[in-house]
Amino acid sequence: MPGDASGVVRTRTVMVDSRNAAIIRFDGTDLGEGAVLGEVDAGAGILERVLDRARAGLAAEMLGSASEAFERTVLYLKDRKQFGVPIGSFQALKHRAAQMFCEIELTRSAVIAALSALDAGDAGAGRLASLAKAKAGDAFFLVSNESVQMHGGIGMTDEHEIGFFLKRARVAQASFGDASFQRCRYADLSGY
């Protein structure tokens, strides 16, 4: 269907992470039979398979972003000195960094499992895509928050890039269903 078809209304939206998005409304749009994808009244299955790929792909992006934020934070902890020593030598910050590392590695396992299942055409791929998206959302939330906290006041400025990870985390978390939605979906697909 052409984007300028009658009844298609697009409204530009700028997200908190400065990316463009759009709200697309179909109001009285008339489509011919040639516009049907698959079988009539069977679109939900196709849509879920497409969304599963989107969820797993976004989970992979979130994993990469969380990993990058973590690596930048570890470098900052090694470079920033307080009381004559690197702040990374403080036990409380070491514990917080260790927790971030563990959450990233758990997310990595979930993302690899989801992507592998999708590649193999596994019947449980949807469940694993929801698991990966939920885990990535939780991990990216934690890592982006902790990264800003560990950078201190400079972490909240737009001059320092670490705050952009926090903004991206918020948008990515909500896209294609947040962690709560994904946990419910996982339970449903698991028969609970």
Residue 124 and residue 188: Cα distance in Å, rounded? 12
Complete DSSP assignment for 119-147: HHT-TTHHHHHHHHHHHHHHHHHHHHHHH
End-to-end CA distance of the chain: 39
Averaged pLDDT, 86-95:
91
In this predicted structure, the answer to whether residue 104 has a pLDDT above a threshold of 90 is yes
Amino acid (1-letter code) at residue 166? L
Measured CA to CA, the distance from residue 110 to residue 7 in angstroms comes to 41
Domain range annotation of the chain: 1-36, 43-189
- What is the model's pLDDT at position 1? 66
Give the model confidence (pLDDT) of 142-176 as tens digits.
999 999 999 987 777 777 889 999 999 999 999 99
What is the pLDDT, as a whole number, of residue 154? 75
Q: What percent of the chain has pLDDT over 90?
A: 69
**Cα–Cα distance between 69 and 145 in angstroms, integer?**
10
Domain 43-189, second-level architecture: Up-down Bundle (1.20)
